Amino acid sequence: MSAKIGEMLTEKLKKQKNDIVPLLSDLNKISLIEGKSFEVCSKAKDELPLICGNPLLVFSNKNTSKINSELKVGVLFSGGPASGGHNVVVGLYDALKEMNPKSQVVGFLNGPDGLLKSEYKILTDDDINNVRNQGGFYLLGTSRTKFEKESDMQKCYETIQKLQLDGLLIIGGDDSNTNAAHLANYLKKSNSKTSVVGIPKTIDGDLAYLPYLQTSFGFYTASMTYSEMVGNICRDLPSSRKIWHFVKLMGRSASWITLEVAFQTQPNVALIGEEIKQKNMTLSQVIDMVCDVIEKRYSSGKKYGVVLIPEGIVEFIPEIKNLIQAINKAIVNIGNENFLKMHISERREKVIIELSQENERLFASLPYSVQNGLLSGLDPHGNVQVSQIASDVLIMDLVTERLHKKGIKLTTQAHFYGYDGRCGYPTWFDATYTYNLGRAASILVAYRKSGYMVTINKLHNDFDSWQVQAIPLAGMMNVEERKGKESLVISKYLVDLNSNAFKEFEKNRDKWAIEDSYLCPGPIQFFGDDSLVKSKSITMMLNG
Amino acid sequence: MSAKIGEMLTEKLKKQKNDIVPLLSDLNKISLIEGKSFEVCSKAKDELPLICGNPLLVFSNKNTSKINSELKVGVLFSGGPASGGHNVVVGLYDALKEMNPKSQVVGFLNGPDGLLKSEYKILTDDDINNVRNQGGFYLLGTSRTKFEKESDMQKCYETIQKLQLDGLLIIGGDDSNTNAAHLANYLKKSNSKTSVVGIPKTIDGDLAYLPYLQTSFGFYTASMTYSEMVGNICRDLPSSRKIWHFVKLMGRSASWITLEVAFQTQPNVALIGEEIKQKNMTLSQVIDMVCDVIEKRYSSGKKYGVVLIPEGIVEFIPEIKNLIQAINKAIVNIGNENFLKMHISERREKVIIELSQENERLFASLPYSVQNGLLSGLDPHGNVQVSQIASDVLIMDLVTERLHKKGIKLTTQAHFYGYDGRCGYPTWFDATYTYNLGRAASILVAYRKSGYMVTINKLHNDFDSWQVQAIPLAGMMNVEERKGKESLVISKYLVDLNSNAFKEFEKNRDKWAIEDSYLCPGPIQFFGDDSLVKSKSITMMLNG
């Protein structure tokens, strides 16, 4: 049999060591310059007293003091995978070995669980060379475990002490970095000298802190993978000329991915959850908005189009949010265990009698599959499983029904892209960004800095202008209600309707709705012209 | 805003004229050598008397007689889009203009409809340069219209006469090429000198005639697009370590795409419809087969995996096929129009009373969404809409239920890839193959050959060994029952269980089931190393 593409591309990208340029090339010439202080909320001052005084740190190339300590640094992945994660570990490893060949990287297995249970492996050259520029988190695995109890913190402390770690990198999203902040404070309190450093990961794009943190890694690779698929559909539209495609895109609450894919493909409709919320739109108004575009296109003979739908849209429609809360309450009253034992028809009956007339009417108006999703019981956190709601089918079915009544018969097709974009080979941008985040983290550990997140500033400028920084985790934190109580968290960065990116979208969408302005970005390219290979996120470029 | 990838890649590939090498480079040196005669069935002799004597034609570079006639050639797309279609038109146009700059290409709009209604455009240099190496059929559009009545043939004849066409290219699959054969015969009978030439298109891979026609264009690009997505999922599996993915792949009845994606990604399970049929398996046995792999993996601690499911699988399970026929009959008895007016619960009631006890039991065992799919009425051909059956959800739900009873709780995710793979930028293979098919077709027209399909032989060898041929459409045809009567058709080429490709799959699948042998082929590459850019289908390479 002929050689397989997967084997060839994997090997080729592994060996592309020289294509990923280190920003902090000479580790003998690094100093950390203290920058501005961050405002810290009072709850952070209470809960994170030992790290809340951290100022901004700016990496500079002007020092000549050699960093050559032998270091032992742990690393773990937390939450859903994102492309570039492996390169964080590779960058960390390369830098530590450059400083001192005796240094070690300890990889914790299965995410935070590995730290709790002291399950790990000491990484070797082979381990590292095998995952260079490779997608996924498979070198170590990941999990969503949080350190919520004091006893969890104590277990982490014990593992860290046992292994005599100089540092620990937590590669994760908003929740994982919240964890990192608490752990950093706990370790200081316990007189541990271990530095805890957070690395900004998530495909959702909802972890940002402007102007210091512009984007999390993995967002661009995921967005371009989905854009390839949506772009192919966009080429299909004027070819077969008869189908309306409803495409749900991953991204949890935030609509950033949908916005980026919209810029890359110029679809007829892209729903932005944050806008729907701000305008306090009803489900019916959202459906009207989509129907309006479809009708306009029909009247000019175009019986085809594409609608992008962010995964979290239902949470942004106030009446649906109310309904979800009411169902949540009803299931709590029944008891989730009892509820799960019931047949679906019994579940429906028991829930409906608990609903207000208004909610009952709304529930009854939803497609059957969506009703079933809402009745699939509570998740481990005690919430209705919003992710079980097929929001693509919800919008698609309601639009189809409304237009059918007006005599317009749609041919439709639903799609969901999400899991297929988390583990692709990282783009040049994500591969380079992450390699340098890992590299910079090693320096923070060498300088015993804890409670920081490593970031790179000026990502929208040329590579030569990229500026490595470390921002204090405590400064990123706010108080929000979680599970009914005030908690200290890193706020999700949702689509800002005043941002340049949203305004640019607003300016173009009416044109995209009616004209066929479709673009087909095609598959991510790793070789050839810089204009293609070294591309960056349009939303990031616009938001600067 | 920064330049958009879609615009840049489109422009870049449009200009890559020189990367697509013409096989018949010097059109002054072509001759057609008559090869072997084909056996023709008696029904073809009856229905296609004027083209059934066509022998094989082999293109040779040994002539020196200049072809310089001014020709006017029509072209149309038929059926679903496939990557490379535009390059057929580009190759045709380039060759005709090389022979004589006054020659013209007439593009019929919206597929066969354009020929029936005489809707067309005369293609210009700009039209051609805009679609060079671009996916989709959007230059002209397509449709699934067939010429079934004598009056349709007459309308085609009138359009062809009015335009004084020297030739007509029909770019389509098995049905469209069956149409092409009948039209070729009809035109000869009407004393038209117009050559009708078929071009083998379909992503499904079910149009082949070994050894003359090894693969249809579009199959490889579609397969590699799906393989990218499945490969990304394969990288996610050992990263998040908790989800079973059930992936439905397009391909109508044939499981070729599933087989190709299996070679490219090495999944835990790939169901092959043709094998299920040959082994006369029940639905329950298919579910057992999948459960068996999942249980084995669970027992070694692996709670994740991926199952590939060909779109047409339900037609291959005899008991499901029987059930579909029984439901078909029931709906015919009720009357499809009446049936469609009924609420879904009434439809269910009316159908169930018409089913045998055995069928009723089977129907009741199916997931609700699948039952609804079966009750969605008949298609324009009078058949239950098998494509409406979510076979991924069917298999996924039944597997989940069965394992749940054994105490194994699965986390699952369904996917469907299909429409997103029909219109991508063609791979080098599809771009080159189609350009040369279009080029060769121009020569058939110049030599007034009609009732042929252009093919390229030895595609599995180096490009320099590729051999252009034309095979008689009549020789490809067989008698099959369609809508209850014997019809002359081009048989679908389904997966052959004695083929090298299937045997290679059989040899490897037990290993792939248990070990994590996953491959991640990544996105299609257009630039750089030939080993990646000029790759070919593994099933084609194996079947030779």
Min Cα distance B7 → chain A (Å) is 7
Look-up of token digits 């601690």: B301
Q: Which of A136, A239, A372 sits opposite B235 (nearest CB)?
A: A136
Minimal CA–CA distance to B185: which of B38, B45, B36? B45
In a domain, residue B15? The reply is no
In a domain, residue A543? The reply is no
Mean pLDDT across B413-427:
97
Tell me the CATH number at A244. Answer: 3.40.50.460
% helix, strand, coil for chain A, step of 5: 50, 15, 35
For CA atoms A151, A156, A162, A165, give the dihedral sign.
Answer: negative
Angstrom distance (rounded) from CA B146 to CA B175: 8
Interface test with B, best of A19, A201, A220, A239 (most B CBs within 10 A): A239
User: Do A137 and B265 lie within an 8 Å CB cutoff?
Assistant: no
User: Do B419 and A413 lie within an 8 Å CB cutoff?
Assistant: yes
For CA atoms B422, B425, B429, B433, give the dihedral sign.
Answer: positive
Q: Within this chain, do residues A249 and A371 fall inside the same structural domain, yes or no?
A: yes
Contacts of B202 (CB under 8 A, 6+ apart): B79, B80, B82, B172, B173, B174, B216, B218, B219
Query: CB of B458 within 8 A of CB of B213?
Result: no
Q: Within this chain, do residues A188 and A234 fall inside the same structural domain, yes or no?
A: no
Look-up of token digits 């979680």: A482
Query: Low-confidence residues of chain A, pLDDT below 70?
Result: 1-2, 17-18, 64
Nearest Cα residue in chain A from B417: A415
Mean pLDDT across B281-310:
97
Q: Within this chain, do residues A445 and A378 fall inside the same structural domain, yes or no?
A: no
β-bridge mates for residue B378, sequence order: B384
In a domain, residue A401? The reply is yes
DSSP state of A501: H
User: Do A235 and B3 lie within an 8 Å CB cutoff?
Assistant: no
Q: Helix/strand/coil (H, E, C) string of A103-116? A: CEEEEECCCHHHHH
Angstrom distance (rounded) from CA A357 to CA A351: 12
User: What pLDDT score was predicted for residue A58?
Assistant: 95
Nearest Cα residue in chain A from B242: A143
SS3 state at A463: helix
Q: Which of B239, B425, B532 sits opposite A137 (nearest CB)?
A: B239
B200 vs B62, higher pLDDT? B200
Q: Within this chain, do residues A310 and A385 fall inside the same structural domain, yes or no?
A: yes
Query: CB of A105 within 8 A of CB of A73?
Result: yes
Phi-psi region of A299 (alpha: psi -120 to 50; beta: other; left: phi over 0): alpha
In a domain, residue A136? The reply is yes
Tell me, what amino acid is at A131?
A: V
In a domain, residue B460? The reply is yes
Mean pLDDT across B188-216:
97
Angstrom distance (rounded) from CA B116 to CA B168: 13
pLDDT tier for residue B372 given thresholds of 50, 70 and 90: confident
User: Do A239 and B524 lie within an 8 Å CB cutoff?
Assistant: no
Q: Which of B224, B423, B519 sits opposite A236 (nearest CB)?
A: B423
Min Cα distance A240 → chain B (Å) is 6
DSSP state of B248: E
Q: Within this chain, do residues B445 and B507 fall inside the same structural domain, yes or no?
A: no
In a domain, residue B111? The reply is yes
User: What pLDDT score was predicted for residue A386?
Assistant: 74
Q: Which of A235, A521, A541 sits opposite B423 (nearest CB)?
A: A235
User: What pLDDT score was predicted for residue A384?
Assistant: 84
User: What pLDDT score was predicted for residue B64?
Assistant: 67
Q: Helix/strand/coil (H, E, C) string of B372-407? A: HHHCCCECCCCCECHHHCCHHHHHHHHHHHHHHHCC
Q: Within this chain, do residues B205 and B174 fall inside the same structural domain, yes or no?
A: yes
Of A299-308, A335-344, B201-210, B497-506, give the lowest mean pLDDT range.
Answer: A335-344
User: Do A6 and B521 lie within an 8 Å CB cutoff?
Assistant: yes
Angstrom distance (rounded) from CA A17 to CA A13: 8
Angstrom distance (rounded) from CA A135 to CA A132: 9
User: What pLDDT score was predicted for residue B18?
Assistant: 65
Residues in B closer than 8 angstroms to A19, CB to CB, are: none
Nearest Cα residue in chain B from A144: B240
Angstrom distance (rounded) from CA B319 to CA B329: 15
Query: CB of A158 within 8 A of CB of A152?
Result: no
In a domain, residue A541? The reply is no
Task: Convert the pLDDT of each residue in A396-446 to its tens digit.
Answer: 999 999 999 999 999 999 999 999 999 999 999 999 999 999 999 999 999
Residues in B closer than 8 angstroms to A542, CB to CB, are: 1
Percent of chain B residues topping a pLDDT of 70: 99
User: What pLDDT score was predicted for residue A383?
Assistant: 81
User: What pLDDT score was predicted for residue A147?
Assistant: 87
Nearest Cα residue in chain A from B387: A413
Look-up of token digits 């929208």: A460
Tokens for A297, please give them. 């296109």
Min Cα distance A181 → chain B (Å) is 24
User: Do B419 and A137 lie within an 8 Å CB cutoff?
Assistant: no
User: What pLDDT score was predicted for residue B328?
Assistant: 92
pLDDT tier for residue B315 given thresholds of 50, 70 and 90: confident
Task: Convert the pLDDT of each residue in B442-494 to its tens digit.
Answer: 999 999 999 999 999 999 999 999 999 999 999 999 999 877 789 999 999 99
User: What pLDDT score was predicted for residue A165?
Assistant: 98
Query: CB of A273 within 8 A of CB of A312?
Result: yes
**What is the distance between the terminal CA atoms of chain A, rounded to a whole angstrom?**
49
User: Do A3 and B523 lie within an 8 Å CB cutoff?
Assistant: no
Torsion of CA A48, A85, A387, B294, to 10 degrees: -130
Tell me the CATH number at A70. Answer: 3.40.50.450
User: Do A531 and B2 lie within an 8 Å CB cutoff?
Assistant: no
Is position B127 annotated as part of the catalytic site? no
pLDDT surpassing 60 at residue B500: yes
Domain of residue B431: give its range: 44-218+423-490
Tokens for A341, please give them. 């034992």
Q: Helix/strand/coil (H, E, C) string of A190-248? A: CCCCCEEEEEEECCCCCCCECCCECCCECHHHHHHHHHHHHHHHHHHHHHHCCCEEEEE
Q: Within this chain, do residues A91 and A161 fall inside the same structural domain, yes or no?
A: yes
Tell me, what amino acid is at A11?
A: E
What ipTM, to 2 d.p.?
Answer: 0.96
Nearest Cα residue in chain B from A421: B232
Angstrom distance (rounded) from CA B211 to CA B203: 19
Residues in A closer than 8 angstroms to B419, CB to CB, are: 232-233, 236, 243, 245, 413, 415
Query: CB of B406 within 8 A of CB of B295?
Result: yes
User: Do B520 and A9 lie within an 8 Å CB cutoff?
Assistant: yes
Q: Within this chain, do residues B200 and B183 fall inside the same structural domain, yes or no?
A: yes
Min Cα distance A37 → chain B (Å) is 33
User: Do A532 and B135 lie within an 8 Å CB cutoff?
Assistant: no
Q: Which helix (H) or strand (E) holds A270?
A: strand A269-270
User: What pLDDT score was predicted for residue A395?
Assistant: 95
Look-up of token digits 């998530």: A202
Angstrom distance (rounded) from CA B198 to CA B449: 11
User: What pLDDT score was predicted for residue B283?
Assistant: 94
Q: Within this chain, do residues B91 and B103 fall inside the same structural domain, yes or no?
A: yes
**For residue A332, how many other CB atoms are within 10 A of its CB?**
12
In a domain, residue B435? The reply is yes
Of A386-400, B194-208, B236-250, give the lowest mean pLDDT range.
Answer: A386-400
Distance of CA B219 to the CA centre of its chain: 6
Q: Within this chain, do residues B484 and B408 fall inside the same structural domain, yes or no?
A: no
Query: CB of A196 within 8 A of CB of A178?
Result: no
User: Do B7 and A519 lie within an 8 Å CB cutoff?
Assistant: yes
Residues in A closer than 8 angstroms to B542, CB to CB, are: 1
SS3 state at B277: helix
Q: Which of B77, B137, B228 sits opposite A523 (nearest CB)?
A: B228
Q: Within this chain, do residues A319 and A245 fall inside the same structural domain, yes or no?
A: yes
User: What pLDDT score was predicted for residue A121?
Assistant: 98
User: Do B240 and A81 lie within an 8 Å CB cutoff?
Assistant: yes
Largest CA distance in chain B: 77
User: Do B4 and A245 lie within an 8 Å CB cutoff?
Assistant: no
Min Cα distance B526 → chain A (Å) is 7
User: Do B415 and A413 lie within an 8 Å CB cutoff?
Assistant: no
Q: Which of A5, A228, A245 sits opposite B521 (nearest CB)?
A: A5
Nearest Cα residue in chain B from A1: B542
Residues in A closer than 8 angstroms to B369, CB to CB, are: 369
User: What pLDDT score was predicted for residue B368?
Assistant: 78
User: What pLDDT score was predicted for residue A275?
Assistant: 97
Angstrom distance (rounded) from CA A540 to CA A265: 16
Angstrom distance (rounded) from CA B13 to CA A446: 48
Contacts of A42 (CB under 8 A, 6+ apart): none
Q: What's the structural domain count of chain A? A: 2
pLDDT surpassing 90 at residue B25: no
User: What pLDDT score was predicted for residue A16?
Assistant: 82
User: What pLDDT score was predicted for residue B1?
Assistant: 52
Nearest Cα residue in chain B from A224: B5
Q: Within this chain, do residues B130 and B245 fall inside the same structural domain, yes or no?
A: no
Torsion of CA A143, A144, A147, A148, to 10 degrees: -150
Please, where are the H alpha helices in B147-195?
150-163, 174-189
Residues in A closer than 8 angstroms to B135, CB to CB, are: 232, 235, 520
User: What pLDDT score was predicted for residue A391?
Assistant: 87
Nearest Cα residue in chain B from A504: B1
Q: Which of A10, A368, A520 sits opposite B6 (nearest CB)?
A: A520
Catalytic residues of A: 204
Query: CB of B297 within 8 A of CB of B268?
Result: yes
pLDDT surpassing 90 at residue B13: yes
Q: What angle do CA B180, B183, B189 make, to 5 degrees?
A: 145
Residues in B closer than 8 angstroms to A224, CB to CB, are: 5
β-bridge mates for residue A470, sequence order: A57, A454
User: What pLDDT score was predicted for residue A78?
Assistant: 97
User: What pLDDT score was predicted for residue A3?
Assistant: 73
Q: Which of B416, B504, B532 sits opposite A9 (nearest CB)?
A: B532
User: What pLDDT score was predicted for residue B290?
Assistant: 98
Angstrom distance (rounded) from CA A205 to CA A6: 28
C-alpha distances (whole Å) from B405 to each of A235, A372, B54, B291, B410 are 45, 21, 61, 12, 11
Min Cα distance B12 → chain A (Å) is 10
Tokens for A523, please give them. 């598959």
Minimal CA–CA distance to B446: which of B57, B21, B161, B43? B57
User: What pLDDT score was predicted for residue B147?
Assistant: 87
User: Do A236 and B136 lie within an 8 Å CB cutoff?
Assistant: yes
